[in-house]
Structure 1
Amino acid sequence: MTNLQLFYDPPGVLRLTVDDEKSYPKVSLYQSSPLRRPGKFLSLLDGKSEEIALVPSLEDLEPESRKIAELELARRYLTARIQTLTSVRQEFGVTYWHALTDRGERDFVVQNLSESCLWLSESHLLIIDADNNRFEVADTHALDPNSRRLLESVL
């Protein structure tokens, strides 16, 4: 197996060395299915967005590189969990949301509901706003009655 070493240099800039032979000064890390298969099928891209390597699992990385990869994935795929919807309104095809999340109160805007609301299961919903922020409703059935009514009014 190829030895992939991930590290930050300078701080905040992800770099990669492959087999102590080739180094990439700017690398991006993506997952093919971050919600359905967390930690699986990681793609490392160079500064030109060309794939350097596909890593089947986080476990395939050395411990230090695994820690760096986990930090990058947590940063890239940050998702706020919606606990309560306080208002949802539509105007001219745009939906305005106000929610209480596990990260505090949030106001966000969704341009196209059919493209931005993804059902991951019968009751698991992912909402991606106009700024590409992710909001998750882990179980729509667990929402309070008013939140469910607001959600059902737009979906």
Structure 2
Amino acid sequence: MSSQPKIGDLHYFNPQDIEFSYSPSGALRFTLKDQYSVIKVDAGSCFPLRKPDKYIWVKDGKNNELGIISSIDELSSSSKKCLKDYLRKRYYMPNITRVDKLTEEFGLWYFDASTDRGPRQFIVRDPRQNIINLNQGRLLIIDVDGNRFNIDDYTTLNPKVVMMLDRLV
């Protein structure tokens, strides 16, 4: 197998020439057919919120970018399943469906919310920086532990919560 791309080279992969799988240790493995294989890679979306299945970067264990995949949909079914599973874990972000209680104390915002993955209680510090209006009422919330939460349309929440969030967005 030949060598990997040089550092700094931007390379778009042909989806038919690449394969993703999991190594026995559970690491994401990448193979460029007839060229090289990397046992442990990292992958992520260039646009994880707006186009999560498009423009996927792949890096080796030393954080060197190997290349970009234009679309996950063009991969083989087994590679697509592996990569989607990996990205789902990487970008784990519960969707808030209801805010049962929202209080503010000493600059911290305390959320008691229902999500598509169960009830969650979390704290947001510096809400002007960590509650981000993405577009048309969609919010990205980052809590003090770095966890991310999504609200599809905050204007559909209870009026008290909407009034508090309106001050920020």
The count of aligned residue pairs is: 155
Quote the residue 1:120 is aligned against.
134
State the Cα deviation string for residues 25-56 of structure 1 (Å, max 9, x = none): 21111001112112001011111221111111
**Higher gyration radius (CA):** 2
- 1:12 aligned to 2:26? yes
Quote the residue 2:83 is aligned against.
69
Unaligned runs of 5+ residues in structure 2 are 1-13
Q: TM-score, normalised on structure 2?
A: 0.81
Quote the residue 1:149 is aligned against.
163
Q: Specify whether residues 150 and 31 from structure 1 end up closer, same or farther in structure 2 by C-alpha distance, changes over 3 A only.
A: same
Quote the residue 1:96 is aligned against.
110
Q: Report the CA distance between 1:95 and its aligned residue.
A: 2.5
Q: Report the CA distance between 1:6 and its aligned residue.
A: 0.6
Amino acid at match of 2:135: S
Q: Report the CA distance between 1:151 and its aligned residue.
A: 3.0
CA distance in 2, matches of 1:87, 1:119: 20
SS of 1:64 mapped into structure 2? helix
State the Cα deviation string for residues 67-123 of structure 1 (Å, max 9, x = none): 111111111112111122122233443322221111111111222323222211131
- 1:42 aligned to 2:56? yes
Identity %: 34
Unaligned runs of 5+ residues in structure 1 are none
Q: Specify whether residues 144 and 94 from structure 1 end up closer, same or farther in structure 2 by C-alpha distance, changes over 3 A only.
A: closer
Q: TM-score, normalised on structure 1?
A: 0.87
Task: Please give the root-mean-square deviation of Cα atoms over the aligned residues, in Å.
Answer: 2.0
**Is the 1:85–1:147 Cα contact (8 Å) retained in structure 2?**
yes
Amino acid at match of 1:73: L
CA distance in 2, matches of 1:89, 1:48: 43
CA distance in 2, matches of 1:54, 1:69: 13
